[in-house]
Every structure is written in C-alpha cells, then in structure tokens.
Amino acid sequence: MGILNVTPDSFYCGSRAFDSDNTRLHAEKLISDGADMIDIGGYSSRPGAESVSPDEELRRIEQGINTVKKLSPTIPISIDTFRADVALKAVRDLGADIINDISGGELDDKMLETIAKTKTPYIMMHMRGTPANMQQFTNYNNVTAEVVEWLSRRLARFSLAGADDIIIDPGFGFSKTTAQNFEMLSHMELFNQLQRPVLVGISRKSMIHKTLNITPDEALNGTTVLNTLALERGASVLRVHDVSAARQAVKLVAKLNH
C-alpha cells in the first residue's frame, strides 16, 4: 500500500503532495514502483497534528483520487479518514474502494453504520485519543494483549452490524511509546488469532529514526528491516512511503518461506 498524503504537514516531507503537480508526480512514482493499492490522506495524523475541516479534508482527498484514477483507473484506492461523512462521500461520489480508519470507528459513531451500509472493505486501526493528544494515552499493562483485546471487541461489534470485510492494524506509533512499538512487533504473531489480514504501518516512523538517532529522510533502511520482520511475523499488507523497497522485501521473504 503506497502512501499519498495530500497534506502540507505530514511527518515525512517526502510523502507530502499538497499541490496538483506534486500529487501527480508522487502518484506516478507509487504506481510505477508497483503499488498494489494507494492510500490517500487529507488529514495528517502525526502526533500533535492540527484539525482540518471535513470540507477541506474531502477537497484534498478528491484531488488525490482524481489524480490516481487518471493515471491508473483500476488500482484500488484506500481513503485514510476517521470521519463517516467523508468516508461515505469518498466511496459513493468519488469511487474510493477501501476506508482506512485510524480510530477503528471510535472517533465517529456513524462509521460502523456507514461501513455496514456500503459494504466497503475497512481497515480498523487501534488508537487511543486523537492525533492531537494520543501520546498522552500510553499507559498499558501489556500493550500487545490489550490491543488484541480491543480489536477483538471492535471486530465483534462491526460483525454484528454486518460489516465483516475488515483488515486489522495494530497502530504502530499511535498512542504507543517506542518501547511499546517494539514490544508489539516482537509479539506480532498474536494478532493472527483474530483471523484477519494484518496491516503494518511503520514506514519511516519515530520508532525507527529515534532509535537510530537519524531523521525520517534517513530511515528507509530501518523501515525495510522492520517491514521484513513484520512479514516474518504474519503481516499481510505493508503501508509504505517507498513501494519499490517494500516489494523487494515481500519478494525475498516469500522466496525464503517457500
């Protein structure tokens, strides 16, 4: 899954594609590098990110969708939003294929109904709080067990409502410390008990660049290392800024395991 952020403030400057020309250039690279799907975001979810109005978020998302569809009409498009109204309009009016919700439906009560009604594939991520304050909520007794339990409860609720086409995301970097991120990664096989595809989004995140004392710009090698470990532990989808490197990791791990 290639990341296309139509935002001016995403944490990694290499993923920002705010104007139409940069959006097109970035989308072209993701597609030419072999992305299987593209995740478009119009609202930065970095720690401490400021709020964006729903209208502005939808305008940015529309710019991204229109650009990708012109370049590759058949590539699946995921929309990174926690707002049900934005999700509904993106699916019904703009042709989005997947909804990627960093809050697992907790920031908007209407999300469950929207997903159930539209039968849209849904990525359910774990997070506490909001992007602006999430790093205040990192108190866990056992981070992996508690995230698995939370996802299990949310899956049951969505299932009862008729929303069953769901990918789970442990939420690396969201309301977790660096140590907790590594603890989750080391026990990632526990997420397989939920019997859902697992998406891992650790590309160039602080768990990498703070550990190595480098910048996000320098974190590609570390990203590839951790993506490889995630694949070994059962990850089904890698959400990445650098598609070519991720595809190489997928191919080599697949060769090793078969």
The domain tally of the chain equals 1
Residue 99: per-residue pLDDT: 98
37, 70, 218 from 237: Cα distances, Å: 10, 25, 23
Mean pLDDT, residues 131-143: 93
pLDDT confidence bin for 44, thresholds 50/70/90: confident
Q: How far apart are CA 33 and CA 247, in angstroms?
A: 8
φ/ψ region of 249 (left if φ > 0, alpha if ψ in -120 to 50, else beta) reads: alpha
| The pLDDT of residue 214 | 97
Please identify which of the residues 24, 60, 83, 239 carries the catalytic annotation.
Answer: 239
The band of 257, judged by pLDDT with boundaries at 50, 70 and 90, is confident
Average pLDDT of the residues in 96-124: 97
Mean pLDDT of 230-246: 97
pLDDT band at 12 (very low <50, low <70, confident <90, very high): very low
239 is catalytic: yes
Lowest-pLDDT range, 11-15, 41-45, 191-195?
A: 11-15
Distance, in Å, from the CA atom of 116 to the CA atom of 119, rounded to the nearest integer, reads: 5
Write down the pLDDT at residue 47: 65
What mean pLDDT comes out for the span 158-176? 96
Contact 121, 196 (CB under 8 A): no
CATH code of residue 33: 3.20.20.20
pLDDT band per the 50, 70, 90 thresholds, residue 14:
low
Given a cut of 90, whether residue 48 has pLDDT beyond it is no
Mean of the pLDDT values across residues 114-131? 95
Residue 151 has pLDDT above 60, yes or no: yes
- Of residues 52 and 209, more confidently modeled: 209
Cβ burial of 118 (10 Å; 0-12, 13-18, 19+) is middle
Q: What is the pLDDT of residues 89-107, one digit of tens each?
A: 999 999 999 999 999 999 9
Give the mean model confidence (pLDDT) for residues 148-153: 98
Q: Give the residue among 53, 62, 67 at the shortest CA–CA distance from 92.
A: 62
Could you give the CA distance from residue 168 to residue 237 in angstroms, rounded to a whole number? 10
Residues 53-58 have a mean pLDDT of: 93
pLDDT of residue 132: 84
Q: Which domain holds residue 116?
A: 2-257
**Which among 70, 205, 210, 233 is annotated as catalytic?**
205
Q: Does residue 74 surpass a pLDDT of 70?
A: yes
